[in-house]
Amino acid sequence: MLHAASQMVRERGVDGVTVPEVMATAGLTHGGFYRHFDSKDALVAQACAAAFTQRLADMDDALETTDNADAARRAWLEGSYLSPGHRDSPENGCAAAALAGDVARAPDGAALRDAYLDGLKSMIEKMERLGNRPADPEAREQEVLVELATAVGAVVLSRAIAGDELSERLLTAARRHLIDDEQ
């Protein structure tokens, strides 16, 4: 059920998903929902956390395929994150890009905000391991934050205009800026 909810929320947004739809997609009855969750808000928060877990696993996969941190970073950014496939499949993509608007509109103290913030912090920590980063903690954090903002922003914008050639140019420009300019 959580996997289905995670995909649906990333694809449609929080307001585009109903509890009965999630339960039907998971092959469960609507009545069984409250045995698992207190509310739709609780479901959405856990779906957000699950989406971040999936993205963190993708980062781990990149790290496990090579002993070279720069190669892992490049593989993750180029082959996974800043790809047309990621842009075109929000249901399987990064929660940071898919849910930013929903989280920005969520009230203070919402479980979704907490789950998103926790996921983003975990993503930042994992990104620090991708690539050869500066030894200075402040410089390392600055580099990762700019990289994260660039990558997430490129995906959000390219999704918003998918189908127009500018969408691909945004992804290409971000890849070049984050990968090619550093070689």
Q: Where are the domains of the chain?
A: 2-182
Residues (pLDDT < 70) of the chain are 30, 181-183
CATH number for the region 2-182 comes to 1.10.357.10
Give the per-residue pLDDT at 181: 63
Give the per-residue pLDDT at 31: 74
Spatial separation of the C-alpha atoms in residues 32 and 26, rounded to whole Å: 11
Spatial separation of the C-alpha atoms in residues 116 and 120, rounded to whole Å: 6
Give the per-residue pLDDT at 182: 56
Taking residue 16's Cβ as centre, other Cβ atoms within 10 Å add up to 11
Give the per-residue pLDDT at 27: 81
Spatial separation of the C-alpha atoms in residues 99 and 52, rounded to whole Å: 11
Residue of 83, 74, 98 lying closest to 16 (CA atoms): 98
Tokens representing residue 146 in the block: 């700019």
* Exposed / middle / buried, residue 138 (Cβ in 10 Å: 0-12, 13-18, 19+): exposed
Give the per-residue pLDDT at 180: 79
Contact 48, 119 (CB under 8 A): yes
Taking residue 71's Cβ as centre, other Cβ atoms within 10 Å add up to 15
